Structure 1
Amino acid sequence: MSVDLKTFIKKAAADGREIDIGKFNLINLDEVRNAAGESWPKLKNRIFQSGLNFIENRVADEDSVLAFNKGFILLFADPDTDITKAVGQIAAQLKAFFLGEPDLAHLDIVTDTLKADTGGIIKIVSSSDTPTPDARKPRPKPSMPEDGDVPHGTLQAFFRPVWDVDKQQLSANICFPKVSVEGRWTDYSRARELLMTERDTLEADISAAEGAVRALRQSVARKLPLTLILGVQCETLDQRSAREDWCAIFDDIPANARRKIWLRVEDLPEDPKAAQPYLKTVSELGFTVIAQRPFGEFELEGFDQSDAKLVSTVTRPPSNSESEGLLAHEVKALGRLARDARDMQALVLVDDIREAKTFNDMLGSGVRFLAGGQVLKDTPLPQPPKAFTRVELARLSKATA
């Protein structure tokens, strides 16, 4: 097993040293694809999932393994590792593993080794595309430039549909910022954590807020129902000038329209007393308040006296392609969170669900609202309220996988 990229980057940054990197480039993929014909999508998925799992089982727990559209990247945590020997051995074993598959007879592997600091690692990862879906599947046409056409550092509001478990329908959209990193849209929060962007929090909060206001005005003009969930960082609310710049975006939004925006206060202090001023500030602006809590830290004691009507958390990312979903104690903790939230007359939203097993774990937990790539993909425009059964979501998820 290996660690995720975020954990590896943080540890490497703390150590302040260069990291040894091994690259495994898959050669002759075009020949394999041509020979596979219509079965290529399933074969490609098997290549990358089995290859990733194969490498992870042969490296240290502190190493990090990533897949990209031409192979795999291995980040070594131990500076004393003989990477030339290690990469060569893994490549030989991986090649023998692939050659055991008749469909992969033409596949070959070319390796490379290099060193880089954390900034260099981020650049290498950013410039390596992740495995792409079957090109024959139709892609929705966005209302903005395609990935690759956007200048680095550009901020843009995106929308993530929210599914109501009880009502079996899309009930809202999360409006959040993405930033262009080497020509590809990346969640701002992730880009910031991995030091991929220099855009500050206020700029990101303003970008999302402006996107939400535009969408709200369009829905009012067209007389269409729309509920938006918009995030704001405590850092933005802390500084008077930043708070005023952010609040000014909503100056001409009437009270009845503001009720259509639910404000999620993110990065709240763990102490409920310290969190109250932030929640009160948002409530006084006329918005419905959402309190964001870290995943796994679900104690709501002290929040029952707050203005929060919804409790939100972001699920942990899958550790690897073979992730088994949530752990048993995490499912129980979510159930307790849902019960505690109901006691304070609030509901629970879980965001950033990326895999089917985690999605299924959520269904029996008592959580009311679900969002993330496993529910419905992010889009440049908000999705209107619409009935959507669990079966329909599963069918759509498979079609876009």
Structure 2
Amino acid sequence: AVMSQRYPKTGSRNPNVTVNVANLSVIKYIFPTQIRLPSELSNGSYVGGLTWASSTDLSVTVTNREQTKATTVLCRAPHFHCQAVHTEVTINDGWVLPSERPIFSVRNQAHNRLGKMVQNAEEILAESQNVNVTDGQTHTTHEISNGGYLLKRLPVRDGEHGHYRHVVFISSLDRRPVPLTMGRFEVTEIVGWDEPHEIVYFMAAPEKRPGERHLYKINLKLNVTESNRTYITSTSPTCLTCDNTESTYRLHRVRISQRGDRWEDIVARLEPDDCLYDIPKNCLYNRVQFSQDYSYYVQECLGPEAPSVYLVETASNDKIYVLNAGDVLRHRLSQLAIPQSRTFSVEIRHGFHAQVRLFLPPGMREEEEVAFPLVLHV
């Protein structure tokens, strides 16, 4: 069951939160065990980012009340004594993310425990790295000590342009995070780590397009030497959802236009080169969910037009099945007067450019001087 806890009002007492773990191997007798945080974190105000790093290690993120410091701890069964494995502090008066969940390598299950890691996210800059280009793809290699590994989103500085959250690789024995992605774009979510195929998938907002969300991948190869050193080789990101042209759709992509028609009947009437499906312009804002072995993923195209849902084969990145074409909603919207939208950059102060989106009345002509009421949403 999930209980909602209202935010305390000014002057009222703040509620205390604890994390408890229950062994479900014997359903008849369930005795919750409270995790034991390090003493310096016992007064943590926010708890989030709960995830299982392995079958015996629970990862929890504890954040102070000011949300200027977030510490990720690992708590091991059966007593669940917790040990801090990474601490993130704010940069430039920002906030940390209490609900952020790191992704742990399956190699961690062979380790007793992650060691103590770097304490300051400002140390992200790698001290030794080799960059080379092969087949038009940039490869970056880092050398670190061997140990347990995890992936996390952390701020990475891009010169004078400031910090952007990127995918960062962290080892338990090497005391510095290594950025796997860099640049003036924001990684919004690490979707998964396909270790057998050495691929990391993540969602990101492209540069100067914060209103979009696309799926990207990078190749991440770990080579362990006899001297117990690990060489990390990563590639530049490849966007998997930026291309929504006809080439990303398999043949026999159809849309059931008549109620009662079966998929098999429609396919049986098709000629080899038939294409009955209209490609919508709604895949600028995406949400994806992978199958357990990363062979397929469900792509939800959520805008700017009516949503639609597809099943995509990961190896070819082809949409092989239309799960929901969104025809009903698209037809209803076509009968409405939809506002016009304009997206552009506006300089506000100190050289900072904010992305602004205007929703204008339907049929409005920009060359006409007409005053309209303005509603601001920040």
TM-score bracket, normalised by the shorter chain, equals under 0.3
* Rg comparison, structure with higher value: 2
- Relative to the length of structure 1, the TM-score reads 0.24
By relative contact order (CA 8 Å, sep 6+), the higher-ranking structure is 1
Larger helix percent? 1
